[in-house]
Amino acid sequence: MTSKQPKYEYVSSAKLPTRWGEFRIHGFVEASGQEHVALSYGEWQPGEVVPIRIHSECLTGDALFSTRCDCGFQLEKALKNIVEHGKGVLLYLRQEGRGIGLLNKIRAYNLQDNGLDTVEANEHLGFDADLRSYDICKLMLETLKVSKVELMTNNPKKLKALSALGIEVVARKPIDHGITEDNKHYLKTKTEKLGHAFDPHLLK
């Protein structure tokens, strides 16, 4: 009888110098072949509260500098916050477009250009509004010896997801950053339909 392949697996780690400081990058892979990474900075003791950000891949925002979302802005802000704090972890999950993939995200953008909001566009394409999973976060954080976190997010669902995995979330730190005229409607939709906790005064 062959042994069952683990659902997630840690692969390797290496130094990763950045504009903000020297991180370590840690690679993980799912049984499906999907790859994810974690960036860690500084040191901590087991049981210590560690600032973290769970960031889902956004090629258009993270790498192509799009201002129709706030993803790239949040990614940079999270890395800066971690360095300023002296320690922390960024979990970078490869689930583009809230889990629908890059090309479907572009299709959704086209629908948004023609009047639908981000939730309506995903549903028009036959997807749920949000298909992301955070299960791999447990292995990633356990590998880095993190069990208690301060979570940088505007999405309360991430707090519930980590708590369900046995990760203690001691605080939520808002990351209202990168609000532009191009993405205000998108952020209002995330607040009204997906429960994100943005300061309403920032979206006027």
62, 70, 117, 130: the active-site residue: 130
Is 173 annotated for ligand binding?
A: no
Q: Considering the chain, what is the average pLDDT of its residues?
A: 91
Question: Considering the chain, what percentage of its residues have pLDDT values greater than 70?
Answer: 94
Which pLDDT value is given to residue 203? 65
Is 95 annotated for ligand binding?
A: no
Domain borders along the chain are 19-95+133-203, 96-131
Rounded to two decimals, what is the model's pTM? 0.91
Measured in whole angstroms, the distance separating CA 26 from the mean position of its chain's CA atoms is: 16
Is 107 annotated for ligand binding?
A: no
DSSP letter string, 159-196:
HHHHHHTT-EEEEEE-------TTTHHHHHHHHHHH--
182 catalytic, yes or no?
no
Q: Which residue has the higher pLDDT, 130 or 55?
A: 55
113 catalytic, yes or no?
no
Where residue 20 falls (left for φ over 0; alpha for ψ -120 to 50; beta otherwise) is alpha
Tell me the pLDDT tens digit for each residue of 85-125.
999 999 999 999 999 999 999 999 999 999 999 999 999 99
**Fold category of 19-95+133-203 in CATH:** Rossmann fold (3.40.50)
62, 70, 117, 132: the active-site residue: 132
Q: State the average pLDDT over residues 150-164.
A: 93
